[in-house]
Chain A
Amino acid sequence: MSEQSLEHSQDKRPTRWHIAVFLAPALLVYTAVMILPLFGTLQLSLFRSIDNVQVFTGLENFRTLFGDPRWSNSFWNALGNNTWFFIIHMLVQNPIGILLAALLSSPKLRFSAFYRTAIFIPTILSFVIVGFAWKLILSPLWGVAPNLLDMVGLKSLFVPWLGKEEYALTALSLISVWQFVGIPMMLIYAAMLSIPEEVIEAAECDGVTGFSQFWKIKLPLILPSIGIISILTFVGNFNAFDLIYSAQGALAGPNYATDILGTFLYRTFFGFQLQTGDPNMGATIASMMFFIILTGVCVYLFLIQTRLRRYQF
């Protein structure tokens, strides 16, 4: 956008009210309901409620969050779990998405519209459905999972995954991967369709086909899309809540093994069981999530995106 050069000539025109009219509703709602509350939350994290009066305490809440072992243990546990949640997504969801997209984009594949539609179905379902559906399927009471394992002779491998501390988080991450694989698949698929035919043909003339064609020609060309998917996954994961809440409840059991920042924020802010909610500590955790997401977005924008070459055809 290089409009600045024309600004000078426009200063002499009469005020163009219609621009304001067009912009006002969106700006108003967006500012009032999104931007101001975001900053309001950051601000609340610097206050503490003493006798129902908000008192400015500086960084005291953050000191509690990191210094008081009761808080800091929960926080580091949630952050660690959240990081593992993200790692599983990056290692499982995105490679599967790329594989499926690569297969779908091969030009003479039949039924590709059917596959695309079917594989995207879990993505449109709500977390509540997905969480409960998998909870039932993995439940030892119902026996769908043990029955299936029995069919391939692996019944001994069955464990109530969602109930075991050591497996629950990984199981939930994989459920989330199952749900969202459609998104990287679609975005990569779109990127692959935009690779011009000539490039592929030139590669084939040089004898680069099949897997090496994917590795040497297509993959470098879709790297910007992989970058976008990574940052979308990052933001989505560090802001996740619904799936864990539906499958494991606000306590993110067993024994907080599946607690991530979203559920930790919910418990702190809203309270659970006997503990009452604490808006200020909630705001402190939300601020930490804000900084984490902001850091991730900045790393992406300034370090990764600028280094990925974009090919213009």
Chain B
Amino acid sequence: MSKAATSLPRTIGAHAILLTYTVIALFPVIVIVVNSFKSRAAIFRSPLTPPTAETFDLIGYTTVMAQGDFIQYFQNSLTVTVASLFLVLLFGAMAAFALSEYRFKGNTMMGLYLALGIMIPIRLGTVAILQLMVASGLVNTLTALVLVYTAQGLPLAVFILSEFMKQVSDDLKNAGRIDGLSEYRIFFRLVLPLVRPAMATVAVFTMIPIWNDLWFPLILAPGESTKTVTLGAQVFIGQFVTNWNAVLAALSLAILPVLVLYLFFSRQLIRGITSGAVK
């Protein structure tokens, strides 16, 4: 690089802008989490200071634990997310393999048909989805959510995975065929392990919207035993709107697991985006 691009004022300027925006991005999250550990008086008196020995208070968390069934909500969210993720990855990879590996009549049409769902949001079909779930007795079950999220995640998964599967060497697969492996074994034993990085990328892209979704839990599974953590937090906060300790604690409880998961996977996510998986 030439000197001009790395000159000192320019670098300082870049850092200043990025740092400012980082503060803007993190400030609300930090304010919420920090205040959730303070007593009610301290929350209002000095919202911008961290908790001290006198103002430290876990009353919000005890209220949340006593009142809301957050453990149950977490379990529900976890079940729905993991099950949908598994089905999206399995079915998506299978379909992507069929589309990228074999030449058959209607291959292109099938690819376009599956890609339709990338642009048209599944939410627009909600009225009929609810009818379908009522008719099949799946309202207020986690199965309904798993089905919807699987359908929602498949188009992008097929699209990304088939791009990656095209890059798997033909020689390898043909060698497998000569050794007498069935097409199923070639898929599960040879191809799947090779596209693992792409699978991880798809997993992260699929997981976040499922975990965060409010619309379908609200409409398909609003019952107490099937509430997801997003809906649970929404309802809880709505009820405790004047209990600031409880609201802040509930928000922090909802933020922290996602945050930990993100920090854990962020390398994967960012590499996935920058490797052109979604271009």
Interface of A toward B, CB cutoff 8 Å: 1, 3, 6-7, 10, 16, 18-19, 21-23, 25-27, 29-30, 32-41, 43-44, 96, 99-100, 103-104, 106-111, 113-122, 124-130, 132-134, 136-137, 142-144, 147-148, 178, 181, 186-187, 189-191, 193-194, 204, 209-210, 225, 228, 231, 235, 239, 241-242, 245-246, 262, 265, 269-270, 279, 282-283, 286-287, 289-290, 293-294, 297
CA gap between A173 and B185 in the complex, in Å? 50
Q: Which residues of A contact B278 (CB under 8 A)?
A: 187
Among A33, A100, A115, A210, residue most surrounded by chain B Cβ atoms (within 10 Å) = A33
Q: Is the CB of B148 within 8 A of A127?
A: no
CA gap between A117 and B117 in the complex, in Å? 29
Q: Is the CB of A118 within 8 A of B22?
A: yes
Q: Per a CB cutoff under 8 Å, which of A30, A128, A279 touches B127?
A: A279
Is B121 at the interface (CB under 8 A from chain A)?
yes
Among B126, B132, B215, B266, residue most surrounded by chain A Cβ atoms (within 10 Å) = B126
What are 19 sample pairs from A and B whose C-beta atoms fall under 8 A apart?
A7-B103, A7-B104, A10-B103, A23-B110, A34-B117, A35-B116, A38-B122, A40-B127, A40-B132, A44-B127, A118-B26, A124-B258, A128-B214, A132-B247, A133-B29, A187-B278, A190-B276, A210-B4, A242-B215
Q: Per a CB cutoff under 8 Å, which of B94, B98, B212 touches A125?
A: B212
User: Can you list the 9 inter-chain pairs with the closest CB atoms, starting with the nearest?
Assistant: A40-B128, A37-B125, A126-B212, A22-B98, A26-B95, A37-B128, A33-B151, A3-B103, A26-B91
Mark B115-147 against chain A: 1 for CB-CB distance below 8 A, else 0: 011011111111111111000000000000001
Q: Per a CB cutoff under 8 Å, which of B24, B104, B116, B126 touches A269?
A: B126
Among B15, B103, B124, B247, residue most surrounded by chain A Cβ atoms (within 10 Å) = B124
Measured CB to CB, the closest approach of chain B to A100, in angstroms, equals 6
Q: Is the CB of A103 within 8 A of B14?
A: yes
Residue of B nearest to A298 (CB): B119
Q: Is the CB of A128 within 8 A of B259?
A: no
Secondary structure call for the A interface: helix
CA gap between A103 and B18 in the complex, in Å? 8
Secondary structure call for the B interface: helix
Which parts of B214-239 form the interface with A (CB within 8 Å)?
214-215, 219, 230, 233-234, 237
Which parts of B243-268 form the interface with A (CB within 8 Å)?
244, 247-248, 251, 254-255, 258-259, 262-263, 266
